[in-house]
Amino acid sequence: MKVLHVNTIDTGGAAIAAKRLHLLLLENGVDSKILFLQRSGKANIPEAYYLEDQFKSAQFKNRKRLNQIYNRRKTFYKPGVYFNGPESLFDISLHPLFNWADVIHLHWVVKMLDWKKVFAHKDKAFVWTLHDMNPFTGGEHYKTGYNGEFSKVSKQNIALKKNAIKGSNLKVVCPSIWLSELAKSSEVFKDKEVLVIRNPIDDAVFKPLHTYLHKSDGVPSIDKKNILFVAENPHDERKGFQLLLKALENIDPERYRLSVLGNKKFVESIFPRAFFYGTVHDEDQLVELYNQADLFVIPSLEDNLPNTVSEALLCGTPVIGMAIGGIKEIVENGIDGVLSETKEGLKQAIEEGLEKHFVRQLICNHARLKLNKAALLNQFKELYNSFKNQ
């Protein structure tokens, strides 16, 4: 079985999930390759290929710039709205790996996938792991922050998508039940098979470290509790950044210290007393930071199942956040963390987390049951092999 993973960029949450699955398949004898649109210069991935290598440098830059304009040509009058359509000036079906593969496994392919061109290949088998709503909407990635600005264009895009995948051999994967139910009820994927398979994470890497297991002994810490927060894009309303700010304003700062991962320039002036670690790519450092944290806070108002939540739980770090999307499917309230049903309740959830004595090893054990790497790998292998029987 030859599997080709496709993702637009080689950094970010979707790329991390795609890369982890790709590497896991390679480790277990599956012939897997991964294709990106362009390289960031930060990733070092075996069997990784880049569409940009088919072009000369200047030619690719011009094509990429034109592609951005082409993608937003119908919505240019509101550039601040995050909206991506189903068309691209790039064509992955022209890449040699497209013909090589038995299964094309799509991930986050915004501005890289041209639906008409790619799904015209009715002899190909496709798997698509959804990392947000964009594949089955008219262009928005989530509902939060989108107010139907492009309703006419959206209807056109949905019609284009439906026609493009008609008769195609496509199966859809969602990491959360929440996203799968939305996909099943969508106009685009209502006639396709939709499965729930979580993104595999290496629990031999993400695990409680012996140095920090004392946090589970039930003895109150005399030090401030360490709250870990990821702030890659605080301007995204969906991420709940302002909600977190409001909650923390009303909690005694002597009770906690705040550690922030992500783009330092965005939040340094807002959290002057925080400890900033910048964007961390090294997994060993991430594991250390999760283990140092007493709480991992994720105030998202709408989300699938973020890698960060799964990583924190595997490290035994309790999760504090909103009871939404895939987060409430994996966090057992009161055992693995504290979840709030309302925006106003986030402050109380954080305070409860600061008071509560969580058992790190128990949290890790729960996460390992839900994120069993071997079981998830077998689900993907069974999915790939299912195309042989058609």
Predicted pLDDT at 220? 43
Neighbours of 241 (CB within 10 A): 20
pLDDT value at residue 390: 65
What is the pLDDT at residue 216? 46
Beta-bridge mates of residue 339: 321
User: Residue 214: its pLDDT value, please?
Assistant: 53
Query: How would DSSP label each residue in 133-168?
Result: SGGGSSSBS-STT--STTHHHHHHHHHHHHHHHTT-
Helix (H, G, I), strand (E, B) or coil at 181: helix
Residue 217 confidence (pLDDT): 44
The 10 Å Cβ neighbour count of residue 208 is: 21
Q: Which two tokens stand for residue 340?
A: 């709030």
Residues 152/83, Cβ–Cβ less than 8 Å: no
Phi, psi (5° rounding) for residue 42? -105, -15
CA-CA distances (angstroms) from residue 63 to 90, 106, 116, 326? 8, 22, 19, 37
8 contacts 35 by C-beta, under 8 angstroms: no
Q: What's the chain's length in residues?
A: 390
Beta carbons of 199 and 107 less than 8 angstroms apart? no
First to last CA, the chain: 15
Q: Is the dihedral of CA 190, 192, 198, 200 positive or negative?
A: negative
Q: How many Å apart are CA 327 and CA 188, to the nearest integer?
A: 25
Whether 210-370 and 2-200+372-389 are alike in CATH topology: the answer is yes
CA angle 324, 287, 238 (to 5 degrees): 25
In tens digits, the chain (390 residues) has pLDDT values of: 999 999 999 999 999 999 999 999 999 999 999 999 999 877 689 999 999 999 999 999 999 999 999 999 999 999 989 999 999 999 999 999 999 999 999 999 999 999 999 999 999 999 999 999 999 999 999 999 899 999 999 999 999 999 999 999 999 999 999 999 999 999 999 999 999 999 999 999 999 998 766 554 444 444 689 999 987 777 788 989 889 989 998 899 889 999 988 877 777 777 777 888 888 889 999 999 999 999 999 999 999 999 999 999 999 999 999 999 999 999 999 999 999 999 999 999 999 999 999 999 999 999 999 999 999 999 999 999 999 876
Fold of 2-200+372-389: Rossmann fold (3.40.50)
What pLDDT is recorded for position 35? 98
Q: How far apart are CA 43 and CA 66, in angstroms?
A: 25
Q: Which of 92, 36, 305, 93 is nearest to 179 (CA)?
A: 305
CATH of 210-370, picked from 3.30.1490.20, 3.40.50.2000, 3.20.10.10, 3.40.50.9100, is 3.40.50.2000
- pLDDT score at 378: 97
3-state helix vs strand vs coil in the chain, percent to 5 = 40, 20, 40
Domain ranges of the chain: 2-200+372-389, 210-370
